[in-house]
């Protein structure tokens, strides 16, 4: 079908409802304190409004103002932002793609299997593809999902490339919960004549391009692609329908949800198929952690040593110039005795003031809030890099605490394998059409995306377990190698087993340097004496 005609507000309903959540979670992930303050105080221009009594009310009007980042700025206060939201997103990406997945085509999945497998690894196994996966996984955790798009340019690359697009720049269309088509949009220019948006719609077999000019909140009117110099490349490629034929059956885009169901939009048509963010429902904990750390920093500021100096000890600089106190001065001009010795106590000419820092109380509070954030997001302390917490636990406890991360990782792997398998097949088919150089092949099935198994057991504990099992003759060498290297192929395991057996069967070398040969004569006993010639003669006569 052709590109839909858009008009009115942008993004259109119902995606305008989701855009607010995307903006909030994007602000938390980026650590942009200005964006956070702007969101929670509800002023889009970034300028603080005048403080009104309604902001302190108990009704709906004052609800957001009671957040730490939404409080009216009555006085200059130090607000410290802790980028724990960004750390959660990074941890999610590392759990999935710190060890890259492998791609496998089984026998019969393609003609000329060897050539197809080599091209598949070139497309999706290189460092550029892994970097894209890591980028996509961070966006997925932050915004509840991510789109993957196929792009190509024979003048710039030697293969079809994979790019990640956030859900806040896409208008998807679903069919039974699966992506049927998607329109990506990008602001390509802004000026006095308005805001220019490039729309790129992906359908099975075709990619449509359109250009609109409007303002910040409205799509405006459609314009020819050649209206902007930066869009002439698209004008030179499209046909009469403003589209490019891909000549493949599959969709050249995919959507990977973070976690389903999307609780906020479970019953909203068009949004129910989206995923939910790792941040959903714990934004108030992010806010509370920032407040706790800011209170800690405020204690540091209040604990600075301060001197309260009597007026008599100050040096007068003359009319209108004020006075000052020099703490390095050794000798002071005499002052009246009553100023030095007040009736109610000792000398109060200079009084020092320094408050205590409530370090332990703040540390415990911050740690408790952080633990609650991690559990709600579905991650373990051991995977989050909290060495202080991990050091207080035994190795068995660390492994047990990592089980929460493993379960979250397993859920996300299901979404990745489901979305990437058909996209990888389309990518291979499209690549064969655009870059026909090399050995020919035809894909008959979806490639399989295999994620490596995580090894959480402590190496020392694992070696002790293997040693005890070997001593009890309860495990074979092959099984030891397989459990020690769960991500190895059968060929690698067999080769390692043979190497171990070869080392166990080493022969003792001849100390004289010659080849070792077993003895063929009867061994000589040192206990035997000289042979009696008469006894020898008797033996011969017998």
Strands 315-316 and 178-191: unpaired
Task: Look at residue 205 and tell me whether its pLDDT is greater than 60.
Answer: yes
Task: Look at residue 33 and tell me whether its pLDDT is greater than 70.
Answer: yes
> Is the backbone peptide bond immediately before 530 cis, with ω within 30 degrees of 0?
no
The tokens describing 448, both together, are 């399989």
Cβ distance 384 to 359 under 8 Å?
no
Which of these, 256, 179, 262, 276, lies nearest to 415 by C-alpha position?
256
Tell me the per-residue pLDDT of 474-529, one tens digit each, with 9 for 90 and over: 888 888 877 777 777 778 888 888 888 888 776 555 555 555 455 454 555 444 44
Residue that has been written with the tokens 């964006």 in this structure: 35
Distance of alpha carbon 540 from alpha carbon 182, whole angstroms: 109
> Is the backbone peptide bond immediately before 17 cis, with ω within 30 degrees of 0?
no
Phi, psi (deg, nearest 5) at residue 17: -70, -40
282 in a domain, yes or no? no
Task: Look at residue 254 and tell me whether its pLDDT is greater than 90.
Answer: yes
22 in a domain, yes or no? no
Distance of alpha carbon 317 from alpha carbon 322, whole angstroms: 6
Span 397-410, mean pLDDT? Answer: 75
What residue numbers bound the domain in which 466 lies? Answer: 457-503
Distance of alpha carbon 526 from alpha carbon 189, whole angstroms: 103
- Identify the top-confidence range among 285-294, 309-318, 507-516: 285-294
353 in a domain, yes or no? no
Q: What share of the chain is helix, strand, coil (3-state, %, to 5)?
A: 45, 15, 40
Distance of alpha carbon 97 from alpha carbon 129, whole angstroms: 11
- Classify the C-alpha dihedral 482-483-485-487 as positive or negative: positive
The tokens describing 497, both together, are 């087993």
At 88 the pLDDT is 94
Tell me the per-residue pLDDT of 124-135, one tens digit each, with 9 for 90 and over: 999 999 999 999
CA distances from 447 to 102, 104, 293 (A): 10, 6, 48
Question: Helix H segments across 98-156?
Answer: 113-124, 127-143
Which of these, 214, 97, 243, 79, lies nearest to 162 by C-alpha position?
97
Tell me the per-residue pLDDT of 71-108, one tens digit each, with 9 for 90 and over: 655 444 577 888 999 999 999 999 999 989 999 998 88
475 in a domain, yes or no? yes
Number of H helices, E strands in the chain: 16, 17
Distance of alpha carbon 542 from alpha carbon 535, whole angstroms: 11
At 53 the pLDDT is 47
Strands 221-223 and 206-214: antiparallel
Distance of alpha carbon 301 from alpha carbon 303, whole angstroms: 5
Give the residue with greater pLDDT, 507 vs 457. 457
Structurally, the chain folds into a number of domains equal to: 1
Provide, rounded to the nearest whole percent, the portion of the chain with pLDDT above 90: 42
Distance of alpha carbon 72 from alpha carbon 323, whole angstroms: 35
pLDDT averaged over the chain? Answer: 80
89 in a domain, yes or no? no
489 in a domain, yes or no? yes
DSSP 3-state assignment of 120? helix
At 54 the pLDDT is 44
483 in a domain, yes or no? yes
How many CA atoms lie less than 13 Å away from 7 in the CB half-sphere?
Answer: 3
Q: What is the dihedral of CA 407, 408, 414, 419, to 10 degrees?
A: -170
Burial class for 317, CB neighbours closer than 10 Å (0-12, 13-18, 19+): exposed
Quote the strand ranges of 215-268, DSSP E: 221-223, 243-245, 253-257
104 in a domain, yes or no? no
């Amino acid at each position: 079908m052709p590109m839909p005609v858009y008009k009115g507000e942008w993004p259109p309903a119902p995606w305008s409802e989701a855009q607010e959540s995307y903006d909030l979670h994007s602000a938390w992930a980026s650590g942009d304190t200005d964006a956070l303050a702007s969101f929670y105080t509800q002023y889009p221009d970034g300028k603080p409004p005048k403080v009104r009594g309604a902001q302190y009310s108990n009704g709906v009007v004052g609800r957001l103002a009671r957040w730490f980042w939404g409080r009216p700025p009555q006085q200059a206060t130090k607000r410290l932002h802790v980028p724990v939201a960004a750390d959660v997103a990074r941890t999610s990406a590392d759990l999935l793609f710190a060890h890259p997945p492998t791609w496998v085509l089984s026998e019969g999945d393609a003609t000329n299997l060897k050539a197809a497998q080599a091209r598949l690894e070139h497309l999706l196994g290189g460092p550029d593809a892994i970097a894209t996966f890591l980028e996509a996984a961070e966006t997925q955790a932050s915004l509840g999902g991510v789109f993957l798009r196929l792009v190509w340019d024979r003048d710039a690359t030697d293969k079809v490339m994979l790019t990640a697009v956030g859900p806040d720049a896409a208008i998807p269309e679903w069919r039974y919960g699966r992506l049927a088509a998607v329109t990506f949009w990008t602001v390509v220019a802004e000026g006095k004549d308005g805001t220019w948006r490039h729309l790129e719609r992906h359908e099975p077999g075709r990619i449509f391009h359109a250009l609109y000019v409007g303002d910040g909140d409205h799509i405006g009117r459609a314009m020819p692609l050649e209206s902007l110099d930066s869009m002439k490349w698209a004008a030179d490629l499209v046909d009469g329908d403003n589209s490019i034929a891909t000549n493949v059956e599959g969709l050249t885009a995919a959507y990977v949800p973070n976690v389903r169901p999307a609780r906020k939009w479970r019953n909203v048509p068009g949004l129910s198929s989206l995923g939910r963010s790792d941040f959903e429902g714990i934004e108030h904990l992010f806010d509370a952690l920032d407040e706790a750390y800011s209170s800690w920093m405020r204690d540091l500021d209040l604990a600075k040593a301060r001197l309260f100096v009597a007026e008599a000890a100050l040096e007068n600089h003359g009319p209108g110039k004020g006075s000052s106190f020099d703490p390095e001065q050794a000798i002071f001009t005499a002052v009246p005795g009553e100023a030095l010795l007040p009736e109610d106590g000792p000398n109060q000419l200079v009084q020092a003031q320094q408050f205590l820092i409530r370090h332990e109380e703040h540390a415990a509070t911050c740690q408790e809030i952080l633990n609650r954030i991690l559990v709600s997001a579905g991650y373990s302390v051991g995977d989050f890099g909290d060495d202080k917490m991990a050091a207080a636990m035994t190795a068995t406890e660390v492994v047990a605490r990592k089980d929460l991360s493993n379960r979250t990782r397993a859920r996300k792997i299901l979404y990745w394998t489901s979305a990437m398998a058909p996209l990888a097949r389309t990518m291979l088919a499209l690549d064969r059409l655009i870059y026909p150089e090399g050995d020919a092949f035809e894909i008959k099935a979806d490639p399989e995306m295999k994620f490596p198994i995580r090894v959480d057991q402590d190496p020392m504990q694992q070696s002790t377990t293997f040693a005890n099992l070997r001593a009890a003759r309860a495990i074979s060498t092959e099984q030891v190698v397989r459990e020690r290297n769960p991500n190895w192929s059968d060929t690698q395991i067999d080769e390692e087993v043979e190497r171990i057996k070869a080392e166990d069967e080493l022969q003792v070398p001849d100390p004289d340097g010659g080849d070792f040969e077993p003895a063929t004569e009867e061994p000589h006993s040192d206990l035997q004496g000289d042979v009696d010639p008469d006894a020898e003669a008797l033996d011969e006569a017998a």
